[in-house]
Structure 1
Amino acid sequence: MRAITIFLTLFFWSFGVFGHQTGESTYLAHVKPDQQVVDVLVSFPGRDAAHHLELDENQDEVISPQEMLVGFDRLNRYVASHLMVSNDGQPCQVVETRQSPVAESPDAYWLMQSYTCEAALNEIELKNSVLLESRGSYTHMGRVQIGERIDATVFNTQFPTYSFSLGAPPTLTELIPRYLWEGVVHIVLGPDHVLFVVLLVLLVLGVRRLLVVVTSFTLAHSVTLILAALEIVDISASIVEPLIAISIGYMALEAIFRKEPPKYLAAYTFAFGLIHGFGFSYVLRDNVGLPTDALVPALASFNIGVELGQVAIILCLYPLRKWAAGKPWETKAVRVVAGLSLVLAVFWLIQRVFF
């Protein structure tokens, strides 16, 4: 019963992740210290905001050109009111606003605002709460250009603002703990990556062999994490995310039907690790961001954080797995956990391919 409860929790949690966002949303900011100006551009499918603002008058779930035209001013006011730039705690003033043509807005709405600040730019806070209060919430991928420096960030319900200083960049003592923590959080709170590690522990009882298998996974995802985060190799998430689900499903099948771990498990794990590394890179590059002036330490710290999180999961699970070894119910318990993992992997695969 407890296993079923855990499974259902993961099932509905993973379903909620996708929410009601129908397309990518981007937030771009160009900071111009010499002019005391910050330009902001936000773009996303206009139908998402139109549904949130209930512009669908005939309730047919389709935003027609006429409905968009009628509610266009309201849409513009809504988006503009949910963007803000402040300098040293003082709001900067909007001096120019432009937006996409009405005809293009259902699929590709955008709004640009230019802010001017009274004082010299110092401590800047950018706020973007567009659609963050909507059902299912929203995620905006952000890029902020400050001279030659480019920061990547994300705006969501947990992080609706992004703050930075135009003074000295963060020191290594500030940067390394942050990226270590981000790496740990991602592996521990990433259900697909956690499930893959869980299945490895189910498959391998020997400490030495488990060490070999986990090391092969670590080496592989470290390689693709670095290559993808530095944009040397780029593979679409629409390809990688279903493959991650397939990797979990394969490992679940191994745990269900094999009495002994496959001979070449380390090779399989290395191949799957290459795929998982791309998944880690999307989080680092798009959600956490890489500072251009401290690229190597940030990347290394994030990767080490991922490994620390992975080790923590194994240290928690392996003693339980060893304790269960030889018990009359061991095989049945392994197959139940692996079976639930397989169902979840199939669900993720369908979700990531079709939705």
Structure 2
Amino acid sequence: MQDLVRRCAYLFAAATALLLSAVPAQAHGFSSTVYVDLTAPAKGHVRADLGLEYDLLVVSAADYEKDDALFKVGTAAFDSGDSAKQSAALAAHSDSVMKYVTQRFVIAAGSNACTATQQGDITIQQREGVPYAFLVLDYQCPAADVHEVRSGLFPDSETYVRGTKTIVTYDLDLQKGSSALDSEHPSFSTHQSFAERFWEFFRLGAEHLLTGLDHILFLLALIAGSRRLREIVLAATTFTLAHSVTFILAALGVVHVSPSFIEPVIALSIAVVACWHLWRIWRRGRLATDLATSSRSHVSLDRAGWTRLGVVFCFGLVHGVGFAGALGIQQAWSWTLLWSLLVFNVGIETVQLTLIAITFPLLMLLRRKAPSVALWVTGVIAAGVTVAGLVWFVQRL
């Protein structure tokens, strides 16, 4: 029996360590998102509205074109926080900026690359709490029914960021849709199939959860504090449904909250959910994992379970605002992108349920064979997650 208990404890610890070892040390690492909207004002004419992180554009373009002056004046403008100076810095070195962007972001008609020209001035706007440079490029293309879009903006090889995503929405070639480009999937065709569009955002959702340590820790806190399988499945599903609600409100233009508020609250939510389990251990001891009802219904929860579910839903709304901002739901009635991001949510939910299927049976077996050991194991996990959440909360403030 003792040997079985040790094995259960080791397996649960190993499963937890495996989940954590698959993600970076930072909550999301230093990453960036590029936003592109493509339209076709006329035959053979494609217009691209691009949004790129300002300071990243400065250092990347300066390095790419060996333009030290751009780096100096652009960095000084960034430090000043003056959007007019930032716009002026890019305008003064528009050749370097244009060469970098047009070499890294390419639109082709058939096998022929389209020719890009800049329209108007580069403007600066705040997005996700940082300045973004917005520019309009007009691409003159040979006549074609299908266009291919390729993005290599801010690659890992530049060493400034890792895992850049380019979120593209398009209305071209009698097709409307959206796509998510990265280093592994750098291009797409405007006539991509439904399955291809679905897979892109499903994969993006799965990767977003697996590469976000804060989301992994939030899920571990839910698992550690859940007393029955129905409780953790309901909590994870409620969390995802809350994301969907936020996405819909964002698409309607109802919700827009500053990241300076959202990011600390996300960190605090991790600490609160983890601390919930610690509080039950302190109040109820070995009875912390007992339900106050003996109902065998698949959805029956006691008062504590329903309260916890409500808290998880509220925090899910907050996390969803963070997802929406990071992936570009900023414009009212963005239904094309909304559909893709709902698929993104399906990817998140699938990974969540998979991780639950890996870890929760081991936890239940440990609780059945050695309740005291299970209580200590989950208590240690909850304590570690609480500390991490509070540290992130202070840092993000």
Length-normalised TM-score, structure 2 = 0.66
Q: Which residue of 1 aligns with 2:308?
A: 265
Change (3 A) 1:128 1:237: farther
Cα separation, 2, equivalents of 1:109 and 1:224:
26
Whole-angstrom CA distance in 2 between matches of 1:305 and 1:28 = 24
Q: Write the mapping of 1:95-244 to structure 2, written as runs, cut at 5 A.
A: 96-98=117-119, 100=121, 109-118=133-142, 120-132=143-155, 133-137=157-161, 138-146=164-172, 150-165=176-191, 170-171=193-194, 182-214=204-236, 216-228=238-250, 230-231=251-252, 233-236=254-257, 238=259, 239-244=261-266
Q: Distance in 2 between matches of 1:102 and 1:227?
A: 27
Indicate the residue corresponding to 2:318 in structure 1. 275
Cα distance between partner residues in 2 of 1:112 and 1:235: 24
| Greater mean alpha carbon deviation, residues 305-314 or residues 153-162 | 153-162
Q: Which moved further from structure 2: 179-188 or 132-141?
A: 179-188
Alignment identity in percent?
A: 21
Q: Which has the higher contact order (CA 8 A, sep 6+)?
A: 2
Which of residues 336, 343, 354 is equivalent to 2:380?
Answer: 336
Alpha carbons 1:43, 1:110 under 8 Å: kept: yes
Q: Structure 1's 286 and 159: CA in aligned 2 closer, same or farther, altered over 3 A?
A: farther
Of 195-204 and 219-228, deviating more is 219-228
Is 1:254 aligned to residue 298 of structure 2? no
CA contact (8 A) 2:124 2:134 kept: no
Q: 1:235 to 1:182 in 2, by over 3 A?
A: same
Q: Which residue pairs with 1:12 in the alignment?
A: 25
- Give yes or no for the alignment of 1:63 onto 2:76: yes
Coordinate RMSD, CA, aligned: 4.3
Select between 58-67 and 318-327 the one with higher mean Cα deviation: 58-67
Find the aligned partners of 2:19 and 2:350 in 1 and give their Cα distance. Answer: 24
Displacement of 1:310 after TM fit?
2.5
Task: Say whether 1:39 aligns with 2:39.
Answer: no
Q: 1:39 to 1:309 in 2, by over 3 A?
A: same
Matched, 1:245 2:253: no
SS in 2 for 1:329: helix
Q: Distance in 2 between matches of 1:340 and 1:246?
A: 14
Match of 1:91? 113
8 Å contact kept, 2:262–2:322: yes
Q: Secondary structure at the match of 1:100?
A: strand
Per the alignment, do residues 9 and 342 of structure 1 end up closer, same or farther by CA in structure 2, a change over 3 Å counting?
A: farther
Question: For the structure 1 residues 338 and 60, does the alpha-carbon distance in structure 2 shift closer, same or farther, using more than 3 Å as the test?
Answer: farther
User: Cα offset for 1:249?
Assistant: 0.8
Question: Which amino acid in 2 is paired with 1:77?
Answer: K
Greater CA drift, 53-62 or 204-213: 53-62
Q: Distance in 2 between matches of 1:103 and 1:258?
A: 49
Q: How does 1:252-331 map to 2 (within 5 A)?
A: 252-259=274-281, 260=288, 263=304, 264-282=307-325, 301-325=343-367, 326=370, 328-331=372-375
What SS does structure 1 have at the residue aligned with 2:147?
Answer: strand
Count of residue pairs brought into register by the alignment: 336
Unaligned runs of 5+ in 2: 1-12, 78-84, 126-130, 282-287, 290-302
TM-score by length of 1: 0.73
1:48 paired to 2:74: no
Matched residue of 2:39: which SS? strand
Where does residue 389 of structure 2 map in the other structure?
345
TM-superposed deviation, 1:278: 3.4
- The answer to whether the 8 A contact 2:181-2:187 is kept is yes
Rounded Cα–Cα distance in structure 2 between residues aligned with 1:61 and 1:37: 32
3-state SS of 1:205 partner: coil
Tell me how far apart the structure 1 counterparts of residues 148 and 276 of structure 2 sit (CA, whole Å).
50
The one-letter amino acid of 1:123's match is V
The alignment partner of 1:144 has SS state of strand
